[in-house]
Amino acid sequence: MAPHCDTLDGPVVSACKMALKNNNVNYVLPFVPKKAENELTIAFDKTIKARKLGFDAAEVADIWLFETAVRLHREGEGASYNGLKPAGLDWGPVVPGAEKDIEIGDPTTTIEFLNKVLEGEVRKKFDKAMSLKNHDLNDVDAAREYTEAMLHFVLSSHHLYKYMISGGEHG
């Protein structure tokens, strides 16, 4: 998830909260790789026990579970874990829009938004390259500027395409 897997209002912590509420670790297990299931299950079971010791113990145990789940999730992505981030961070328009589309079961809003952004950015890169294309052959600096803009257009288009057709790994 995008980039918000490590926030207190992100999908991993939200799954932990559902798991605790329903006393069922299966709400959060899908967020960690299979090899981490045992470690997360042990942390979950200890958290359940600690929660019975009072408010302070429950608060500490919950945060420990959130940190453990996010750390295991990030490790599964091959990413480092740098601690939990606060809730309410601004992830831009795509993440909340895409999450809303998942809730309502229709990707149209996200598709339309991404199409608009994609077209605008591709045209901007293309227009820059075209504005520099007819440079003086003897002006090597101008030729370099064109080459950089042209390659930026071509390669960013290629990388975007490759990502779009990839297996959908996140992280």
**Domain locations in the chain?**
11-77, 105-165
Q: Are 68 and 40 in contact (CB under 8 A)?
A: yes
How wide is the angle at C-alpha 145 spanned by C-alphas 139 and 148, nearest 5°? Answer: 140
Q: What does the alpha-carbon distance between residue 30 and residue 72 come to, in Å, rounded to a whole number?
A: 11
Note the pTM of the prediction, 2 decimals. Answer: 0.72
What are the helix (H) ranges across the chain?
A: 11-22, 37-51, 55-77, 94-104, 108-133, 140-165
**Interior/surface letters 68-106, b for 16+ CB within 10 angstroms, e for the rest:** bbbbbbbbeeeeebeebbeeeeeeeeebebbeebeeeee
Q: Say if residue 23's pLDDT is above 90.
A: yes
pLDDT in tens, 30-79: 999 999 999 999 999 999 999 999 999 999 999 999 999 999 999 998 88
Q: What does the alpha-carbon distance between residue 95 and residue 118 come to, in Å, rounded to a whole number?
A: 16
pLDDT in tens, 145-171: 999 999 999 999 999 999 888 876 565
pLDDT in tens, 101-152: 999 999 999 999 999 999 999 999 999 999 999 999 999 999 999 999 999 9
Residue type, 89: L
